[in-house]
Amino acid sequence: MKRFAAALAALVVFSAPVQAATEDVTDHVSNFTLDNGLEVVVIEDHRAPVVVHMLWYRAGSADEPVGQSGVAHFLEHLLFKGTDTLAPGEFSATVAQNGGSDNAFTSFDYTAYFQRVAADRLELMMRMESDRMVNIRLSEEDIATERDVILEERNQRVENSASALFREQKRAVQYLNHRYGVPIIGWRHEMESLDRADALSFYETYYSPNNAILVVAGDVTPDEVRALADRYYGVIPANPDLPKERLRSQEPPQTAARRLTFADPRVAQPYVSRSYLAPERNAGNQKEAAALRILADLLGGGQTAVLAEKLQFDTQTAVYAGAFYNGQSLDATTFDMVVVPTPGVSLQEAEEAMDRVLADFLTEGVDPAHLERIKTQIRAAEIYARDDVQGLANRYGRALTQGLTVADVQAWPEILQAVTAEDVMEAARKVLNPKTSVTGWLMAEEG
């Protein structure tokens, strides 16, 4: 099964190297659009003879028709079946034979396919990837086999995990109307009915050059990529029936705090989780999202964050406390917090302690020294991230499928550095609104 896995790494920051490294943090990026509407982004890095080839479609689970949850992820699996020229499984086998690796992943707003190979194999990757953009061939046997695969994946990743089931239910409560409340993998009863017509309908609607972004990163030049992209992708006609806008059901005003209790005997460590509806990053307007990103780090970004200091160390109420915000979303996202109580501390006591910390923070404001430390850490992370070519390709592809531009991605680090304490507090007062919140308790049993 083709899935994408991402890992977060701890970062130790030393002030002197960071200051020395801040002189040039510009990505070497070129971008252009083919006549058929395919957007192309080239990220040059000539330090190793390796290239990452990624094809992103502006189509994810939130673009699915009502009643067909899971079809975007289902189709992702099916693209590793045959085409007019490739037998089932031949795509990945060819990549492996050429010393590379490949994978794919689906999210709410996009589906992406990628290969990491030696730079001189780029043409082969383009030939195969462009082939399955238009020439997929699916048998009823393929459909039945992969439907069983995704159902088993749901068993393993969701049904067998009390925490995953809790998060799924909580997200469904957070979004009253938007498709972000539907799991990417799909609801089981709808997955069971997915068929060949469903998969082909999604494929024929969204898999076209004018709905795709090609990102090539590594030991390449823009001229080389343009020539190959013209040869393999440029000959594919645009889809004239592609929807002009990504029309989705939108959220009504959220006017009441909601609560969720999820009890499961498999729970070894109960915890409190809260989410608030929050604005996303928008093209040309990322200031509020930047403030929320820094707010998450200030409140729950590590051992020196406010929640950790107050709950883990000062009162020893919790063994862990964190806050999270990912603004890269086409529509409204969430700002999240979690508190894992110390043994002997009830979930009610943990929640009340979290609320006291938030209330104090909204009253006392931001510690200027803490804000500067966060900015230094962010700057360091941005610098070191440029050593990860695949991570850069992922960053640009994800951004462009979610409504941002190359210029927005490149401006983001400096927008973060420009955030003030006042910006953070303004964002906090707006987003930490009980009326848009969902508070969940995950516990081993009722009571």
| pLDDT at residue 386, as a whole number | 86
> pLDDT of 64-84, one tens digit each?
999 999 999 999 999 999 999
Any idea of the CA torsion for 183, 187, 190, 193, to the nearest 10 degrees? 100
| Average pLDDT rounded to a whole number, residues 114-136 | 98
Please check the confidence at residue 294 and state whether its pLDDT lies above 80: yes
Please check the confidence at residue 320 and state whether its pLDDT lies above 90: yes
Q: How confident is the model at residue 50 (pLDDT cuts 50, 70, 90)?
A: very high
Taking domain 258-443, whether its CATH number is 3.40.640.10 is answered by no
Query: What is the pLDDT of the chain when averaged over all its residues?
Result: 93
> pLDDT of 253-289, one tens digit each?
999 999 999 999 999 999 999 999 999 999 999 999 9
| pLDDT at residue 41, as a whole number | 98
Residues 291/378, Cβ–Cβ less than 8 Å: no
| pLDDT at residue 16, as a whole number | 30
Calpha distance 371→425 (Å, rounded): 12
Please check the confidence at residue 26 and state whether its pLDDT lies above 80: no
| pLDDT at residue 403, as a whole number | 93
> pLDDT of 170-194, one tens digit each?
999 999 999 999 999 999 999 999 9
pLDDT above 90: percentage of residues in the chain: 89
> pLDDT of 407-427, one tens digit each?
999 999 999 999 999 999 999
Q: How confident is the model at residue 4 (pLDDT cuts 50, 70, 90)?
A: very low
Pairing relationship of beta strands 111-118 and 333-341 according to DSSP bridges: unpaired
| pLDDT at residue 87, as a whole number | 94
Calpha distance 224→413 (Å, rounded): 29
Please check the confidence at residue 316 and state whether its pLDDT lies above 80: yes
How far apart, in Å, do the first and last CA atoms of the chain sit? Answer: 40
Tokens (6 digits) for 192: 């069971």
Please check the confidence at residue 6 and state whether its pLDDT lies above 50: no
Dihedral class, residue 42 (left if φ above 0, else alpha if ψ from -120 to 50, else beta): beta
Please check the confidence at residue 447 and state whether its pLDDT lies above 90: no
CATH class of 15-232: alpha beta
| Average pLDDT rounded to a whole number, residues 95-112 | 97
Q: Which of 64, 76, 129, 280 is catalytic?
A: 76
Domains 15-232 and 258-443 in one fold? yes
Please check the confidence at residue 445 and state whether its pLDDT lies above 80: no
> pLDDT of 233-249, one tens digit each?
999 999 999 998 898 88
Where are the chain's structural domains?
15-232, 258-443
Please check the confidence at residue 364 and state whether its pLDDT lies above 50: yes
Q: Is 349 a catalytic residue?
A: no
Please check the confidence at residue 19 and state whether its pLDDT lies above 50: no
Please check the confidence at residue 250 and state whether its pLDDT lies above 80: yes
Please check the confidence at residue 14 and state whether its pLDDT lies above 60: no
| pLDDT at residue 446, as a whole number | 66
Of 205, 208, 212, the closest CA to residue 53 belongs to 212
Q: How confident is the model at residue 10 (pLDDT cuts 50, 70, 90)?
A: very low
Instruction: Give the distance from CA 302 to its chain's centroid.
Output: 21
